[in-house]
Amino acid sequence: VHVDSYLCLPLVSKSRVLGAVNLVNSSCTEMDREVLMTICSLAATSIENALLYQDSLEKERYQESLKIARDIQMKLYPATAPDIAGLDIASRTESCDETGGDYFDFLPHDDGSGMTMVIGDVSGHGIGAALHMVSARAGLRAMCGSSSSLSDVLGALNDQLEKDMETEQFMTMFVSTLSRRDPLRFVSAGHDAPCVFRAEDRSIDQLDATGMPLGLFPGVPYSIGEVPPLGAGDVLLAMTDGVWEVHDPVGEMLGKERIAEIFCDLCQQHDSADRIADGILAAVNEYTAGSPQRDDVTLVVIRASD
């Protein structure tokens, strides 16, 4: 092709080149070029607006999908606390994203005298963590319906999650059976030890149990711990690390010790699990002073009636 003249005008919007207009073998006066440059500028603006509109539609659809996923996940949490004789139960959960990896559950025993309480935390955030949480919930609920011990249940759940989870992804979990008459039995898979406030001497016990987080290796054994049952006024606090790993505006972490002190004070001030749970969250929010939430926050408070 014989080329006598060539004119290239870029389509630029906000310092970004979106395309170009090329004219070959077309004679243009200086005025023609000025008009073409104006047309190209308007065209670039129109293209930019169209791209922004498309992007906003995609973001809107994505946010709507996340909202639906969040609504579904929230419905998987217990809607109300179970009615267990002598136990006052409260729970709270807040995700730092639209969906989260924290998990808690209450599984009442058939005779109504007690329940199995579960709290867990999948590493990471977002949809991936939420999906593993749902998988763990389904597996645990199916296994707890059998006659297997708590240690066997966590062992089987670990093997299930080990097949599903990505390398280096894992889930911590604490499972306990509670009633007013029987010893408090529990198993931990790498989860932070819950606290028990003993009303008789106003002391705090830690339910320590060593165990590998779920999903890392197959065939991991888990052992059962046991402490005396909750007496009148005793309170159990189980939580995920998002409760105590919050930071104040200068970057200092709240920490487990301060949470234990706050918990001990609240147990002496209130005779309601709801008030104790709300008091802990209020203290956490006051400490952060509006700093962004970096992790999911979940806690369960169980108080033995006087």
Kindly list the structural domains of the chain, giving each domain's residue range(s) and its CATH number in brackets, ordered by start. Answer: 6-67 (no CATH), 78-304 (3.60.40.10)
Q: Which residue has the tokens 């009148």?
A: 232
Amino acid at 11: L
- On whether the CB atoms of residues 10 and 23 are closer than 8 A, the answer is no
Q: Once rounded to an integer, what is the mean pLDDT over residues 71-93? A: 89
Sign of CA dihedral 298, 107, 114, 191: negative
Cα separation, 276 vs 135, whole angstroms: 30
Q: Is the pLDDT of residue 72 over 90?
A: no
- On whether the CB atoms of residues 277 and 204 are closer than 8 A, the answer is no
Q: Is the pLDDT of residue 56 over 80?
A: yes
Record the tokens describing residue 95, joined without a space. Answer: 């995700």
- On whether the CB atoms of residues 129 and 295 are closer than 8 A, the answer is no
Cα separation, 295 vs 58, whole angstroms: 26
Contacts of residue 24, Cβ cutoff 8 Å, sequence gap at least 6 = 1, 3, 5, 6
- On whether the CB atoms of residues 102 and 133 are closer than 8 A, the answer is yes
pTM comes to: 0.79
Cα separation, 93 vs 104, whole angstroms: 9
DSSP H helical ranges for 165-305: 256-269, 273-288
Cα separation, 223 vs 186, whole angstroms: 9
Q: What is the pLDDT of residue 46?
A: 86
Q: Once rounded to an integer, what is the mean pLDDT over residues 162-169? A: 86
Cα separation, 31 vs 162, whole angstroms: 71
Q: What is the pLDDT of residue 226?
A: 93
In Å, how far are 183, 236, 305 from 232, measured between CA atoms? 14, 12, 5
Q: Is the pLDDT of residue 7 over 90?
A: no
Record the tokens describing residue 29, joined without a space. Answer: 């006066």
Q: What is the pLDDT of residue 143?
A: 87
Task: Give 44 or 117, the one with higher predicted confidence.
Answer: 117
Mean pLDDT (the chain) is 88
DSSP state of 291: P
Quick: pLDDT tens for 35-47. 888 888 888 888 8
Sign of CA dihedral 30, 35, 40, 41: positive
Cα separation, 141 vs 132, whole angstroms: 14
Between helix 273-288 and helix 256-269 the angle, nearest 10°, is 140
Q: Is the pLDDT of residue 1 over 70?
A: no
CB-based contacts of 153-156 (< 8 A; 24+ apart in sequence): 153/187, 154/187, 154/189, 154/211, 154/214, 154/222, 155/219, 155/220, 155/221, 155/222
